[in-house]
């Protein structure tokens, strides 16, 4: 399998698999078995759109201006390193991912809530457009789309697993120890990728 695809999959997984409002909402809908398909499509579709925007939007300016290319590379590396440190801190102070109760909502309300949790969260733009887009554009022409495909595949895999596998994942991720292990793995991966980007990333 293409190496850029695998790196894209791993990087995206490390960014999206974390305790947060969006994941908690997907888990909640999965546990309640309410409009799970719609929620998964909205979340994964939004990631695909934003990752594509990151690759296309950053690609041409980076190729035209080598200085901008270097600036984005360092910015992406710094973000990954900071994210790795934060994940390490979460691993030392584990939390829980809990689904809340409540009355059944309409499909419209569920979709609008999911869109709000996605597009009104500034971190989603850092994760997808800036971070994944900047890493993807470190690759030579064509390879960046393999990276993007891997990133999208990770997003889809996660949201499908979280939505339809919620009844299995819920008890697991209600335990702080499970998030401690997961965050420790994410921290190691993000710190490694940040150092890799600082060292120059993949060969041009």
Q: Each residue of 146-157: pLDDT tens digit?
A: 999 999 999 999
**Four-residue CA torsion sign, 182, 163, 119, 42:** positive
Q: Tell me: pLDDT of 111 over 60.
A: yes
Q: Is 150 exposed, middle or buried (0-12, 13-18, 19+ CB in 10 A)?
A: buried
User: Around Cβ 74, how many Cβ atoms within 10 Å?
Assistant: 13
Of 56-65, 131-140, 159-168, least confident by mean pLDDT is 56-65
Confidence (pLDDT) at 25: 84
127: DSSP letter:
I
Q: State the Cα–Cα distance between residues 67 and 120, nearest whole angstrom.
A: 31
More confident residue, 168 or 65: 168
């Amino acid at each position: 399998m293409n190496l850029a695809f695998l790196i894209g999959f791993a990087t995206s997984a490390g960014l999206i698999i974390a305790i947060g409002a969006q994941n908690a909402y997907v888990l909640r809908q999965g546990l309640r078995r309410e409009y799970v398909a719609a929620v998964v499509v909205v979340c994964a579709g939004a990631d695909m759109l934003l990752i594509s925007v990151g690759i296309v939007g950053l690609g041409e300016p980076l190729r035209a201006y080598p200085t901008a290319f270097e600036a984005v590379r360092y910015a992406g590396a710094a973000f990954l390193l900071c994210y790795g440190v934060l994940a390490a801190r979460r691993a030392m102070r584990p939390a829980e991912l809990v689904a809340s109760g409540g009355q059944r909502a309409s499909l419209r309300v569920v979709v609008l809530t999911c869109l709000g949790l996605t597009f009104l969260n500034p971190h989603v733009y850092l994760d997808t457009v800036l971070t994944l887009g900047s890493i993807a554009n470190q690759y030579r022409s064509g390879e960046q789309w393999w990276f993007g495909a891997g990133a999208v595949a990770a997003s889809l895999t996660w949201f499908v697993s979280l939505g339809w596998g919620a009844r299995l994942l819920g008890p697991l991720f209600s335990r702080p120890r499970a998030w401690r292990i997961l965050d420790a793995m994410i921290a190691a991966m993000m710190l490694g990728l940040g150092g890799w980007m600082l060292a120059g990333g993949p060969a041009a």
